[in-house]
Structure 1
Amino acid sequence: MDLRHLRHFVAVAEELHFSRAAARLGIGQPPLSQSIQALEAELGARLFERTKRRVELTEPGQLLLGEAREILARAERAAVLTRRAAKGEVGELRVGFTAAAPFLPMVPRIIDAYRRAHPDVHLTLVELPSKQQLTALADRRLDVGFIREPRFVPEPDSFRFHDVVREPLLAVMRADHPLAGRDVVPLAALRDEPFVFYPADFGTSTHEQVFALCAAAGFRPNVTQDAREAFTIIGLIAAGLGVSILPGQLRQVALEGVVYRPLDTPDAVTTLQLAQRSNESSPLVKKFTGLVERIVPFVPPLTGA
């Protein structure tokens, strides 16, 4: 059924006058009459009773009027939604983030700004370690992700990264630890310390970064206790199970008896990035990444690291 015919029918049914309906539609009366005749032929029903003095809806015409209005309204809604989807204004955006990312003020700021700018887009937020996010991006289970800068990226040409926040990696220990009294902790001084840290197979980029940092200082962290969550790591440090090296924003976890100290190497730096597929064509993703690039056009080197 041609939507144009339905529009013509509704105009005549509401005006009950072919000349006025034609003027309302901006077409001539003969094409309007032909359109109504074509619709009646298609439906096998007479829709109007016509005399020289008046036009009236038949019973089938009255039934069709309500349906036609609903069909036209739904078609208009579909057209509007399609146009808005093409502009990245509606739909669903799946955003990955690491467990600690919301502790960085920039990440909530970005999410809030996007929600305000695009209130009709449904944001699905998915917490995953960085390496698992890259896998989910490749499998199209995520659209974008806030990840820790990875040291090794499988098929690096498949992804595009934008720096969001740069921060120090800090030594974390009990307040009564012998090194806690120092303003700056020598990385090499952690050589023989028991570490509480992420398991290697959990998929955190922080694991790769810290092990590379320690390797450059001539040792491998002696991980005596695994934990998958940063908050668990900090809690176990408070319980006296060891030390760790974690991103600086976790200083906000102000657990009694735990202190955070800078390390003595300028390489003790970690960067949160926004990751996306390099061949991305989604208007939703383009709107989100465009907003991030406007809010954070450039991340300067970390001073004092």
Structure 2
Amino acid sequence: MKVLQDMELRHLRYFVAVAEELHFTRAAERLHMGQPPLSQQIRLLEEEVGARLLDRTRRWVRLTEAGRLFLADARRILALADQASATARRAERGEVGELRIGFTASTPLTDVFNRVVNAYRKQYPQVTLTMIDMTTMRQLQAITDRVIDLGFLRPPAGETPPDIRITSLRQEPLVLVAPASHPLLRQREIRVRDLASHPFVTFLPDAGTGIQRQVLQLCREAGFVPEVALQAGEGSTIIGLVAAGCGISILPESFSAIRVKGVRYRRLADAGAVTELMLACREGDGGELVRGFFEMAKGGGGEGEVGGAVRE
């Protein structure tokens, strides 16, 4: 262990040069140093190793058996050191490493998410993307706690922590989710006020989603408080309960990609019946990995920036 601590990479490079040239003068020229200092460094290396690595006379230099074996290991160590340096430089440029990304349940159903993730994986194939399904509010906490680096989320219910940067990637219509035979579907256009007398299937209050707050606000603006028949923690469960005739619901349009027999989706005519897909990260943190993903996502979505804490 003491030998490994005392030995420096330059000593290995000196030895490899001499072993490959089998000539101290040529090795010194290759290393851009004098021949006497090189000879001294090789002697010090042999003392540290505790073995004679080279046989030399005034006319020739040869590797000993110990030197031949040491050469193979020295080359491997130098190659690993070069690889480590290259990896560090690539990480500094945001080309390698790991990104931990949160996303809401409906996010993978959107074209923006699929386009950005695919483009990023192609441009940065050496970056590992760890994807974690989390609700909006849990993502915000996970970003603050450094559990994840970035989060695809919906408008949060409540204040955004001041250390979080949020960018809007796209606006998305909210849709009525109703049984296929529901009388509302016969209307040419459907507004939120038309839903007042119908029972709702909604997200649980502690589900951590911002959509529930938006829906309740839309209903209040339309002059009523929705009658909640059932609640669930997942959008797909809500759709299944609608199919079972338990009520109607309002969800982001991306959920319409979930095809359930007996369920229909219709856009709401109200101008405010929209939500957003957003991307969040810690302000001023994360380095080139986060910056690269964030900029690519902004270029791939691009409907302007919103958010509680930071606006660019």
Report the TM-score, using the length of structure 1 for normalisation: 0.93
How far apart are the structure 2 equivalents of 1:198 and 1:294?
Answer: 32
How far apart are the structure 2 equivalents of 1:299 and 1:177?
Answer: 37
Residue 193 in structure 1 maps to residue 231 in structure 2:
no
**Equivalent position of 2:51 in the other structure:** 45
Whether the 8 Å CA contact 2:115–2:300 is kept in 1: the answer is no
Q: Shift in Å at residue 266 of structure 1?
A: 0.9
Q: Shift in Å at residue 193 of structure 1?
A: 1.4
**Equivalent position of 2:108 in the other structure:** 102
RMSD over aligned CA atoms reads 1.8
Whether the 8 Å CA contact 1:183–1:261 is kept in 2: the answer is no
**Equivalent position of 1:303 in the other structure:** none
Residue 134 in structure 1 maps to residue 105 in structure 2:
no
Q: Shift in Å at residue 299 of structure 1?
A: 4.7
How far apart are the structure 2 equivalents of 1:193 and 1:24?
Answer: 85
Residue 255 in structure 1 maps to residue 260 in structure 2:
yes
Q: Shift in Å at residue 294 of structure 1?
A: 2.5
1:115 to 117, 121, 125: 121
**Equivalent position of 1:16 in the other structure:** 22
Residue 90 in structure 1 maps to residue 96 in structure 2:
yes
Whether the 8 Å CA contact 1:196–1:225 is kept in 2: the answer is yes
**Equivalent position of 2:310 in the other structure:** none
**Amino acid across the alignment from 2:227:** N
Between the aligned residues of both structures, percent identity stands at: 47
How far apart are the structure 2 equivalents of 1:13 and 1:69?
Answer: 11
1:174 to 162, 168, 179: 179
Whether the 8 Å CA contact 1:45–1:60 is kept in 2: the answer is yes
Which deviates more, 41-50 or 189-198? 41-50
The within-5 A match list for 1:25-44 is 25-44=31-50
Provide structure 2 residue ranges, at least 5 long, that are not aligned to the other structure: 1-6, 306-312
How far apart are the structure 2 equivalents of 1:297 and 1:190?
Answer: 32
**Equivalent position of 2:246 in the other structure:** 241
Whether the 8 Å CA contact 2:170–2:303 is kept in 1: the answer is no
Aligned length: 300
Q: Secondary structure at the match of 1:115?
A: helix
How far apart are the structure 1 equivalents of 2:257 and 2:9?
Answer: 60
How far apart are the structure 2 equivalents of 1:143 and 1:281?
Answer: 7
Deviations 1:51-86 (A, max 9, x none): 011111223322321221111111111111111111
How far apart are the structure 1 equivalents of 2:279 and 2:299?
Answer: 13
Q: Secondary structure at the match of 1:113?
A: helix
How far apart are the structure 1 equivalents of 2:144 and 2:126?
Answer: 26
How far apart are the structure 1 equivalents of 2:261 and 2:44?
Answer: 81
**Amino acid across the alignment from 2:175:** L
How far apart are the structure 2 equivalents of 1:299 and 1:4?
Answer: 53
Q: Secondary structure at the match of 1:201?
A: coil
Whether the 8 Å CA contact 1:163–1:298 is kept in 2: the answer is yes
Q: Shift in Å at residue 254 of structure 1?
A: 3.1
**Equivalent position of 1:159 in the other structure:** 164
Q: Shift in Å at residue 154 of structure 1?
A: 4.3
